[in-house]
Structure 1
Amino acid sequence: MTTMEVTRFGHAAVLVEAAGTRILIDPGAFSAPATFALTGLDAIVVTHQHADHLDRDRIGSLVEANPGARLLAEPETAATLDNWERTGPDLTFEVGGLTVTGVGSRHAEILPALPRVGNVGVLVTADGEPTLFHPGDTYEYRPDGVDILALPLSAPWAKVSETVEFVQAVAPRTAFPIHDCTISEVAYGIYWTHVEGHGGVDDLQRLPQDGVLAL
């Protein structure tokens, strides 16, 4: 395998760089300001419509700064945006040297009384590169062959036992946390130590904001 670089930009925002291609996933309201200063992107991908995954106040300027970027979003989300392509389960998109494949179709349940919005996670891969999986907001879908898992660590729809079971089922070579702005620093270990102790993944990387994982 050659080198894939993954950079966290806070909460669910992840920049994937491999095969000469740069793909940004889920630039949301909790993302670091540096997320919206990125240039040279080949694609921007949004897994679903919630504000912590799509900052509608800042997405326009990011798109303008990356005029060559392919814009990919889950169907319900794409319908509310101008000139975005709709992703979907098993749909593939060739972006530079990488392939983006949609995984799943719906958000995890928050409350039975609330409708479940669309959510399409993504696999990012290429020949000779590791395969990265960003699930968006769900543990429901568990694709095979995942080398790097972007792991949602805390959410209104999740509990620790589900987090650990999801990691075990996906069985990645490497995992790092996303969706963790809902956890205070003093309480972070309550969540992360269970993943460390029971997830079954040898290479766990608790990346700081702007931390880079190279594989």
Structure 2
Amino acid sequence: MKLTKRLHSCVQLEKDGRVLVIDPGAFSEPDAGLGAEVLLVTHEHPDHFDEGRLRAALDANPAAALWTLRSVADRMAAAYPGRVHTVGHGDAFTAAGFEVQVHGELHAVIHPDIPRVTNVGYLVDGSLFHPGDALTVPGVPVQTLMLPVHAPWNKVAEVIDYVREVKPARAIDIHDAYLADIARPIYDMALDTFGGAPHSRLGAGESAAL
């Protein structure tokens, strides 16, 4: 697979000329979902779910379809009958040649007074795991962990412990729009030194072969 990092938590995967995109939200590029046959959304927060970006992708490609949890599916299904699929923890499906397993149920705690929304993570081809806004441990081997490096709901100690628990072959940053460039070396040092797995980050539009 070829991984291309888009802004914030959006990633694009390409295999055999087919494209899967996860979380083309309001912080990602306006065209982040275009060209995808498979669109996955982890939860309803606008930095992960942008209805306009999803509609643009679905309208541009009649073969494209969306897999997501109920809170997002309910907002999209009427306009795209048969193309919006509701998934939850424990589900597995095949789409455009990609094998996807669904892990997780709830968003991480932001504050005890803020209600938790549902959140799922996606393990693609038994290799790459995107957890959305949670520190879900899928309980299976992970080659590439898309790592939510900075968010209102986490701190670097939790991110380090998450890498240690998942034990991926590599970790690559996502959920990084909140993190100023001047602070990135601090996070890089902490994760490189204490995370226990090779850690890297890609700029928006940069790619890596997995």
Please indicate the TM-score interval, normalised by the length of the shorter structure: over 0.9
Identity of matched residues, % = 38
Contact 1:42-1:68 at 8 Å conserved across structures: yes
Give the corresponding residue for 1:166. Answer: 162
Cα deviation 1:64-90 (Å, max 9, x = unaligned):
112211211112221222242111111
Q: How many pairs are equivalent?
A: 205
Match of 1:50, SS? coil
Q: Structure 2 length normalisation: TM-score? A: 0.92
Match of 1:24, SS? strand
Two-structure CA RMSD over aligned residues (Å):
1.4
Q: Which amino acid aligns with 1:77?
A: V
Give the corresponding residue for 1:106. Answer: 106
Cα deviation 1:69-126 (Å, max 9, x = unaligned):
1211112221222242111111011112211111111100101111110101100006
Residues in 1 aligned to 2:88 and 2:188: alpha-carbon distance in whole angstroms: 31
Structure 1: gaps of 5 or more residues = none
Residues in 1 aligned to 2:121 and 2:40: alpha-carbon distance in whole angstroms: 9
Contact 1:152-1:177 at 8 Å conserved across structures: yes
Residues in 2 aligned to 1:30 and 1:8: alpha-carbon distance in whole angstroms: 13
Cα deviation 1:141-174 (Å, max 9, x = unaligned):
3331100111000001001110000011111112
Q: Which amino acid aligns with 1:156?
A: P
CA shift at 1:54, angstroms?
Answer: 0.9
Give the corresponding residue for 1:22. Answer: 19
1:31 aligns with 2:12: no
Match of 2:13, SS? strand
1:75 aligns with 2:70: yes
Question: Which of 143, 156, 170 is 2:152 aligned to?
Answer: 156
Structure 2: gaps of 5 or more residues = none
Contact 1:27-1:53 at 8 Å conserved across structures: yes
Alignment of 1:111-130 (within 5 A): 111-125=111-125
Match of 2:186, SS? helix
